[in-house]
Amino acid sequence: MTVDDVEFREFFAAQYARLCWLGLLLTGDQAEAEELAQEALVRTWWRWVVHRPNDPAAYARKVLVNRRRSLLRRAGVESRFLARTRLERSRPPGDEQAMVLWEAVQGLPPRQRAVLVLRFHEDLTEAEVARLLGLPLGTVKSLAHRGPARLRDRLGSPELDPTTPRREAR
Amino acid sequence: MTPDSRLEDRLRATLHRPERSPWPDDHGAFDQFLRRRTRRSRALAARGALAVVVALALPAGLPRLLPSRPVAPATPPVTGRPLQMPAGGFEVLVPTGWTDLSRSRRVITPASELGSGVALRPMRRAANTFVMLHTTVLSPAQFPGTEPGGGDPDPSVAADRATERLEDRGGPLGRGRRPDGRPSVWQQTLLGRTRWPSTRSPGRTTAPRSRPVRRAPAGGP
For residues A75 and A107, state if they share a domain: no
My answer on whether A100 and A26 are in the same domain is: no
pTM > 0.95:
no
What CA–CA distance (Å, rounded) separates B104 from B128? 16
Clarify whether residues A1 and A78 are in a common domain: yes
- pLDDT for the residue numbered B142: 56
Query: Contacts of residue A121 in chain B, CB cutoff 8 Å?
Result: 12, 15-16
Q: How far apart are the first and last CA of chain A?
A: 56
Which of the listed residues A90, A125, A140 is the one where a domain comes to its end? A90
Are A32 and A85 found together in one domain? Answer: yes
Which of A20, A41, A152 has the CB atom closest to B23's CB atom? A20
CA A143 to chain centre: 15
Domain that holds residue A8: 1-90
Q: Would you call B5 an interface residue with chain A, using a CB distance cutoff of 8 Å?
A: no
> Region A159-168: what's the mean pLDDT?
44
Q: Which of B122, B76, B80 is CA-nearest to residue B219? A: B76
B214 DSSP β-pair partners: B91
Interface pTM, i.e. ipTM: 0.71
Tell me how far apart the alpha carbons of residues B181 and B74 are, in angstroms, rounded to a whole number: 8
The answer to whether the CB atoms of A97 and B20 lie below 8 A apart is no
Say if residue A96 is in the same domain as residue A39. Answer: no
Tell me, yes or no, whether A113 and A140 share the same domain: yes
Same domain, yes or no: A83 and A96:
no
Domain stop point among A46, A68, A90: A90
CA atoms lying within 13 Å on the CB side of residue B180 = 3
pLDDT digits (tens, 9 = 90+) for B141-170: 555 555 555 555 444 444 443 333 333 444
Mean pLDDT over all residues of chain A?
79
More confident residue, B97 or A168: B97
Chain A residues with CB under 8 Å of B20 CB are: 93
Statement to judge: residues A86 and A151 lie in one domain: no
Q: What angle do CA A93, A97, A102 make, to 5 degrees?
A: 60
DSSP state of B74: S
Same domain, A74 and A125: no
Of A42, A71, A90, the last residue of a domain is: A90
In this structure, are A97 and A158 located in the same domain? yes
pLDDT above 80 (res B32): yes
**Amino acid (one-letter) located at B66:** L
Residues A148-156: what's their mean pLDDT?
A: 82
Q: Could you tell me how far CA A97 lies from the centroid of its own chain?
A: 20
**Chain B residue with minimum CA distance to A45:** B37
CA gap A74, A83 in Å, rounded: 15
Contacts of A109 (CB under 8 A, 6+ apart): none
Neighbouring C-beta atoms of residue A54, cutoff 10 Å: 7
Q: Is the peptide bond before B86 cis (omega within 30 degrees of 0)?
A: no
**Residue B134 pLDDT:** 67
Closest by Cα among B99, B92, B72, B80 to B183 = B72
Q: Characterize A13-51 residue by residue with b for buried, 16 or more Cβ atoms within 10 angstroms of its Cβ, and e for exposed.
A: eebbbbbbbbbbbbbbbbebbbbbbbbbbbbbbeebeee
Report the range of poorest mean pLDDT among A4-8, B90-94, B203-207.
Answer: B203-207
Question: Chain A residues within 8 A (CB-CB) of chain B?
Answer: 9, 12-13, 16-18, 20-21, 24-25, 30, 34, 38-39, 41-42, 45-46, 90, 92-94, 97-98, 101-102, 105, 116-117, 120-121, 148, 151-152, 155
Same domain, A83 and A163: no
CB of B13 within 8 Å of a chain A CB? The answer is yes
A67 and A113 in a common domain: no
Residue-wise pLDDT for A116-130, tens only, equals 888 888 888 999 999
Residue B49 scores a pLDDT above 90:
yes
Number of domain units in chain A: 2
Residues 6+ apart with CB under 8 A from B172: B178, B179
Domain with A152 in it: what CATH number?
A: 1.10.10.10
Residues linked to residue B177 through DSSP beta bridges, in sequence order: B183
